[in-house]
Amino acid sequence: MAGEKAAGEKKAGEKKPAKKKTDEKKPAEQKASQKEVGEKKKKIKKHHASRNPVLARGIGRYSRSAMYARKALYKRKYTAPETKIEKKKKEKPRATITKPVGGDKNGGSRVVKIRKMPRYYPTEDVPRKLLSHGKKPFCQHKRRLRASITPGTVLILLTGRHRGKRVVFLKQLATGLLLVTGPLVINRVPLRRAHQKFVIATSTKVDITGVKIPKHLTDAYFKKKRLRKPKHQEGEIFDTEKEKYEITEQRKSDQKAVDSQILARIKKVPQLRGYLRSTFCLSNGVYPHKLVF
Amino acid sequence: VFKRFVEIGRVAFISFGPHAGKLVAIVDVIDQNRALVDGPCSGVRRQAMPFKCMQLTDFVLKFPHSARQKCVRLAWEKENINEKWAATRWAKKIEAREKKAKMTDFDRYKVMKAKKMRNRIIKHEMKKLQKMSSKKGKKPEKSEKPEKSEKAQKSEKVQKAPKAQK
């Protein structure tokens, strides 16, 4: 009974896949024929219909091993040819290394893994950040400049080793710091950066129109350099960092280039040179909030 | 004892209030504390003003009480009060005070240098005269007078220099 039913089903089943496959065959054949026209010498692969008739959906007539035989897979074993690269690749990277170990009773060496398992697995790939709005990194901050500070203004430095000195403002750099020069000959202040907040802007201005400031004077030029070599030498950690600052030739030439232009304009204003040479100080009865700068 | 009186036509200087620093003429007295006041040439409208904020000046104009603004203006311009006022020491002191307050840092430096130079000159002359008087005992009286005249000369020169630069 089962056999008859199976036979009956088999027939019905046979038709369907046969039909399907014939349908599929046709376009395949068409394609194949078209291909033949275009490319002359390519082998046409005619795909055989399913060799495993369907008894019911998902159930085929033959078992796996029977299908192996029917499809002649014993014939179809493909391996890629072994190339030289594959041969070379057989040399796997070293997984372990033997290291010598000191001490009498420790045996001469140990076998150590080169790549070790991770010591810690974070449970989240990236820690979740709390929602924030408008928090920009420093490089994207808006740089502001006080209206009283324009190129050529005489500024009074309030902090740093040049405190109290009067100095000429050149331009604002990309990080917002002010590029400033003595000039060097007048008050020993070189081309230097100053912070806007620690500076008093006077109303005295030197006419700096037409003064060309070299373009390589940026923040990176002025930034302090620090040597960082990770070799641990315990005795000399503090010595490796530059103790003494040395004036490079480039700085000297840049200083000359800028100062020569500015000095010419300073000479035109009477008493300005002496003014820049002097330092600012408070004395009795002098109150900064009452002074007009 | 009192030289300046509140009278019709007295020019007064307003010391505080919205019209501080301006000159007005007293046109009429309202009561013990207030006066009717008018300053056509100094931008003060005709109004009542308490005596407390007025300081009397030396100038008196001639016009009848409650005269209208036109008359006050005529009298004012006839007497040339604005120029006379600018020439008084009072006005000059006010101006000097204002200039000092407006001094910038650079100006202060220039004044300091000028003062220094002036003091040097004075000292120099002083020393010269002292030397002379020490040499000859009979000259202490004469040495005083030339000092003062020299001081006055140098101070004028020095004052003119920084203020001209300002």
Tens digit of each residue's pLDDT, chain A (293 residues): 444 444 444 444 444 444 444 444 444 444 444 544 555 556 788 889 999 999 999 999 999 999 999 999 999 888 877 777 767 767 778 888 888 888 888 888 889 998 888 888 888 777 777 888 888 889 999 999 999 999 999 999 999 999 999 999 999 999 999 999 989 999 999 999 999 999 999 999 999 999 999 999 999 999 988 776 666 655 555 555 667 788 899 999 999 999 999 999 999 999 999 999 999 999 999 999 999 99
Domain of residue B81, CATH code:
2.30.30.30
Q: How many CB atoms lie within 10 A of CB A264?
A: 10
B69/B109 same-domain check: no
Of B103, B109, B165, the CB nearest to A292: B103
User: Does residue B71 belong to any structural domain of this protein?
Assistant: yes
Cα B65 from Cα B142, distance rounded (Å)? 57
Choose from B106, B116, B166 for mutation: most chain A CBs within 10 A. Answer: B106
Closest CA to A107 of A98, A116, A119: A98
Residues B94, B64, single domain; the answer is yes
Same domain, B119 and B94: no
- Domain of B117? 104-133
Q: Can you tell me the distance from the alpha carbon of A183 to that of A261, in angstroms, rounded to the nearest whole number? A: 10
Instruction: For residues A237 and A231, give the distance between their C-alpha atoms in angstroms, rounded to a whole number.
Output: 10
Domain final residue pick, B52, B80, B102: B102
3-state secondary structure chain B: CCCCCCCCCEEEEECCCCCCCCEEEEEEECCCCEEEEEECCCCEEEEEEEHHHEEEEEEECCCCCCCCHHHHHHHHHHHCHHHHHHHCHHHHHHHHHHHHHHCCHHHHHHHHHHHHHHHHHHHHHHHHHHHHHHHCCCCHHHHHHHHHHHHHHHHHHHHHHHHHHC
Report the relative pairing of strands B34-39 and B23-29 from DSSP bridges: antiparallel
Confidence check on the interface: ipTM exceeds 0.85, yes or no? no
> Looking at the domain assignment, is residue B94 inside a domain?
yes
Q: How many inter-chain contacts (A to B, CB under 8 Å) are there?
A: 32
Could you give the CA distance from residue A267 to residue A276 in angstroms, rounded to a whole number? 11
Q: What is the DSSP letter of A279?
A: B
CB contact under 8 A, B106 and A275: yes
Judge if B54 and B93 occupy the same domain.
Answer: yes
The pLDDT of residue A106 is 83
A202 chain-B contacts, CB cut-off 8 A: 104-106
Show the tokens assigned to B39.
Answer: 């300053």
Element of type H or E holding A55: strand A54-56
> Average pLDDT, stretch B2-30?
95
Domain annotation covers residue B142: no
Cα B50 to Cα B31: distance, rounded to the nearest angstrom: 9
B104 closest CB neighbour out of A166, A204, A270: A204
Domain boundary among B102, B118, B148: B102
Q: How far is CA B35 from CA A146, B5, B23, in A?
A: 48, 13, 14
B85 and B97, same domain (yes or no)? yes
What local confidence, expressed as pLDDT, does residue A22 receive? Answer: 45
Of B158 and B38, the one with more pLDDT = B38
Cβ contact A274–B113 (<8 Å): yes
Question: Does B113 lie at the interface with A, CB-CB under 8 angstroms?
Answer: yes
From the list A203, A275, A291, the residue facing B109 with the nearest CB is A275
B123 and B65 in a common domain: no
User: Under a CB-based contact definition with an 8 Å cutoff, are residues A182 and A276 in contact?
Assistant: yes
Nearest CA in chain B to A200: B105
Facing residue for A271 by CB, picked from B104, B105, B110: B110
d(CA B49, CA B29): 10
Helix axes B105-135, B140-165, angle to 10 degrees: 170
Q: Where are the beta strands (DSSP E) in A117-159?
A: 153-157
Q: Examine residue B79 and state whether it is found in any structural domain, yes or no.
A: yes
Question: Which residue in chain B is spatially nearest to A276 when comparing CA positions?
Answer: B106
Residue B58 phi, psi dihedral angles, 5° rounding:
-80, -10
pLDDT at position B115: 96
Do B52 and B121 sit in the same domain of this protein? no
Closest among B14, B16, B6, B3 to B85, alpha carbons compared = B14
The model's pTM is 0.63
- A205 to chain B: closest CA residue: B106
Domain match, B97 and B125 both: no
Give contacts of A 189-228 with B, CB under 8 A: 202-204
Q: Which domain-ending residue is among B79, B102, B125?
A: B102
Cβ-defined contact of B103 to A275 (cutoff 8 Å): no
Q: What is the pLDDT of residues B44-65, one digit of tens each?
A: 999 999 999 999 999 999 999 9
Q: How confident is the model at residue B156 (pLDDT cuts 50, 70, 90)?
A: very low
Do B92 and B75 have their domain in common? yes
The answer to whether residue B58 is domain-embedded is: yes
User: Which residues, 6 or more positions from A98, have their beta carbon under 8 angstroms from its beta carbon?
Assistant: A109, A110, A111, A112
Q: Please name the residues in contact with B158: beta carbons below 8 A apart, sequence gap of 6 or more.
A: B114, B115, B117, B118
B57 and B69 belong to one structural domain: yes
Q: Flag if B113 and A271 touch (Cβ within 8 Å).
A: yes
Cβ pair A270:B165 closer than 8 A: yes
In a domain, residue B54? The reply is yes
Lowest model confidence (mean pLDDT) among A225-239, A242-256, B8-22, B89-103: A225-239
Q: Is pLDDT of B9 > 90?
A: yes
Residues B53, B68 share a domain: yes
B140 belongs to a structural domain = no
Residue at B5 is within a domain:
no
Q: Tell me the C-alpha distance between A280 and A165, whole Å.
A: 6
Number of structural domains, chain B? 2
DSSP category for residue A165: B
Residues B64 and B129 in one domain: no
Total residues belonging to chain B: 166
